[in-house]
Amino acid sequence: MKVKAKLEKKELDFIPKFTGRFTQDGGLSFGTYIKMALKKFIKENPNMPFELKPLLPESQKQRGFFEGAICPLVAFYQEGMDHHNSQNISDVREWLKIEFNGQMMVVGGKSHIIGGSTKKKLNQGFLERIIGYLQDNYAPPDEILDPECYKDWRDRIYPYGGPDNYIDYLVELKILTK
């Protein structure tokens, strides 16, 4: 995929991405080839604005919140789906991947959208886009979409004989209704 970017009458065929690490003394460390490519890019594109953001690792807690709260919640709101049914939740997960992390692919001359992997994507906007969708379309109470509320159920309620899933817990508390 080629992206055209214009800056001071220059066109770039693609927007390069340079990855490195922060050093203990507050500097940046790049591999030899990346460092050379970055220096060349800077010289060829002076005054170009840029964004520096860390690549945060996805945590198991984020994955648990996505799989244990968000996917079942979307299934709960869908007509004809049951949030207890693992196949329904799997179907919802695949639909979310297509809808919010889809990638265009051409096969046999036809364009198809396939669901991209969610690995390392949960903390890069994927989860926020799904939460925004839920808020826009179903307007659930804020505490339902709060990871701390999910964590409270997971750590304090579920292990001691409470409802066996987050959605049933919310329904039991009368926080969640269809």
Q: Could you tell me if 115 and 102 are in contact, meaning their C-beta atoms sit under 8 angstroms apart? A: yes
pLDDT tens-digit map of 40-61: 988 988 888 888 777 666 678 8
For residue 10, the surrounding DSSP H or E stretch is strand 10-12
| Bridge partners for 12 per DSSP | 5
Torsion (CA) 80, 103, 135, 75 in degrees, nearest 10: 20
pLDDT of residue 57: 62
In this prediction, residues 145-171 reach a mean pLDDT of 93
> Could you tell me which residue, 15 or 67, shows the higher pLDDT?
67
In the chain, where are the structural domains located?
5-44, 60-172
Mean pLDDT score across all residues of the chain? 86
Q: Could you tell me if 122 and 62 are in contact, meaning their C-beta atoms sit under 8 angstroms apart? A: yes
In this prediction, residues 130-158 reach a mean pLDDT of 92
For residue 117, the SS3 value is coil
DSSP conformation letters of 40-105:
HHHHHSTT--------PPPPHHHHHHIIIIIHHHHHHHSTT--TT-HHHHHHHHHHHHHHHHEEEE
- DSSP one-letter code for 116: P
pLDDT tens-digit map of 94-103: 999 999 988 8
> Could you tell me which residue, 11 or 80, shows the higher pLDDT?
80
pTM over 0.85: no
